[in-house]
Chain A
Amino acid sequence: MSAEEPTLDAVLEAFMMDARQDGALATYLQRHPQYSLELIDLSHEMHRAPADEPPPLDHAARTSMDAVVARVLEAWPVREGARNLFAELRPADYGRVSKTMGVPRGVIGAVKDGLAIWSTIPGKWLARLAAALGGTVDELRASIGGASPQASYKSEARPERKDPVPFEQLLIEARVDDARRAEIMENHD
């Protein structure tokens, strides 16, 4: 009785994982003689040094790449079953939540839009926000950066940016006073 024969794919990938070990090719040739030629050809290609600077994409290549990205994004899942904690918020609710959390509405909106780097948000603050929205931290995380609901969080101090920044920077830009900011950030490593 022999163990189930691994597929060619499995063997080639395992070889890639072990390629840094001395004598990897010889070892794999011994273990998997039925895939010898494929292992040798892959080993040959693995030693090809990539160009330091690849040639730039021409217009046709960029257009083709755009189409591929669009095709990939068609598979973006509609996260059924996952609650969007922000979906049912009305403008007035943003006021309530912001009051509970002690920050301007713009901060809540920015967190909703994924404009704060998740890892920089203090865990306790996240837990309180999730509770204020009626969900869990996991649900809150799944709700961030998703499709925008209709509700507006018009704000006097919503940070104007497109890329995520550390949470504390968001607070500074939203003009949260120093004492409150220190209090919020206190529990963050």
Chain B
Amino acid sequence: MAENDGEGAETIPPLRKRKPDQTLYTRQPETERLLAGLLGLPEREVLERAAITRRSDPGWLRGECLVFMMRRASRRGDKRSYQRWCRLLLERVRAQMPHGRSGTPLTTVELAMAEYGVDRFAKLLGPDLSGYNESLDIYEAVFDLALARLRTDALKTTLPKRDDTKPRPTYVEYGSDPRVDLEVEQAKAEEDLFGIARGNDEDFRLRAWEAIDALPTEQNRILTMMREGVPPGEMAKILGLEPKTLYNRKMAALKAVRDAIGSAGQ
């Protein structure tokens, strides 16, 4: 907690939470580098940068820095400063909860998810104020990923449960060859749809993700494991599928997304 060694030099205290293997959570080196620079700036200036919402702006600050600054204000007993950082952070959390295209009002479900995310994050702050809440450490270590977790939880909590065992309308069965070699087929399907979804303009990305999200959960999971290089045998085991069925569903998923991306590009 000591941030000042008595000679005026402020240090960045380490995080305290440990992974199951007992190693400490750590900030990313880039975050540490940014923080070291921010500590020498007037707080007003850092707050101005924190209020920048456009990620491509050179002054934009990652969420990890905002969490650090908010906790720093708490350690210093500076309520006014804490209030400002808290507000900015909650806005960041809300902004990353699922929402439709820019300019369209939130649907009821999106609104519920936004409120769920903000509320769950806010609940971490009280215990941190009165001591130290290790549950907040993940946000200071990998803010965007922690919000991804919040989104998955929001989706599961807010959306009605769907029956993943039944094929949805987009489901397509392909011709089958029981001798199909899944390893070879995976090599054929190397195209990284998620890469496409990341690498193009925002509207295109949104459409690609809409297509991916519209897949039955099982197909969605197949694409995710494909992207992450999980061996097909392992995929089949996890999903409880026969290799042939896995292949069929994988191809159906790829076709559905490619069709959506293709039609979006026209």
Contacts and interface: CB of A to CB of B under 8 A. Distances in A.
Contacts, number: 216
Contacts of A12: 149
A157 B151 CA distance: 51
A54 B47 CA distance: 18
B172 interface: no
B77 A164 contact: no
A79 to B, nearest CB: 7
B213 to A, nearest CB: 9
Contacts of A74: 126
A145 B83 CA distance: 13
B148 A120 contact: no
B205 interface: yes
Given A33-B238, A48-B209, A11 B6 contact: no
A123 interface: yes
B96 A54 contact: yes
Interface in A58-105: 58, 61, 64-66, 68-69, 71-77, 79
B6 A123 contact: yes
A176 interface: no
Nearest to A26: B230
B32 interface: no
Given A14-B21, A166-B42, A75 B126 contact: yes
A60 B224 CA distance: 36
B19 A61 contact: no
Interface string B17-37: 101110001100000000000
Interface in A84-136: 114, 117-124, 126-127
Given A53-B102, A68-B90, A73 B152 contact: no
Task: Bin the interface of chain A by size.
Answer: 35 or more
Contacts of B91: 57, 65
Would you call the interface of chain A mostly helix, strand, loop, or mixed? helix
Given A114-B81, A145-B79, A123 B55 contact: no
B99 A55 contact: yes
A71 to B, nearest CB: 7
A55 B102 contact: yes
Contact of A146 (B43, B77, B119): B77
Contacts of B148: 16, 42, 45-46, 48
Contacts of B151: 45, 48
B138 interface: yes
Interface stretch (B139-147, B241-249, B252-260): B139-147
B39 interface: yes
B10 A118 contact: yes
A23 B86 contact: no
Contacts of A52: 54-56, 202
Nearest to A25: B228
B142 A72 contact: no
In this complex, which of B99, B126, B202 has the most chain A Cβ atoms within 10 angstroms of its Cβ?
B126
Nearest to B101: A55
Contacts of A13: 17, 19, 25, 138, 149
Minimum-distance CB pairs A-B, first 9: A54-B95, A163-B44, A119-B10, A75-B126, A145-B78, A123-B7, A6-B20, A25-B228, A14-B19
Interface of A: 6, 10-14, 16-17, 19, 23-26, 29-30, 33, 36-37, 40-55, 57-58, 61, 64-66, 68-69, 71-77, 79, 114, 117-124, 126-127, 137, 141-146, 163-166, 187-189
24 contacts: A6-B20, A13-B138, A16-B142, A16-B145, A26-B228, A29-B230, A37-B221, A40-B225, A44-B223, A46-B144, A57-B91, A65-B87, A65-B118, A69-B83, A72-B126, A119-B3, A119-B10, A119-B39, A120-B40, A123-B4, A144-B76, A145-B76, A164-B42, A188-B8
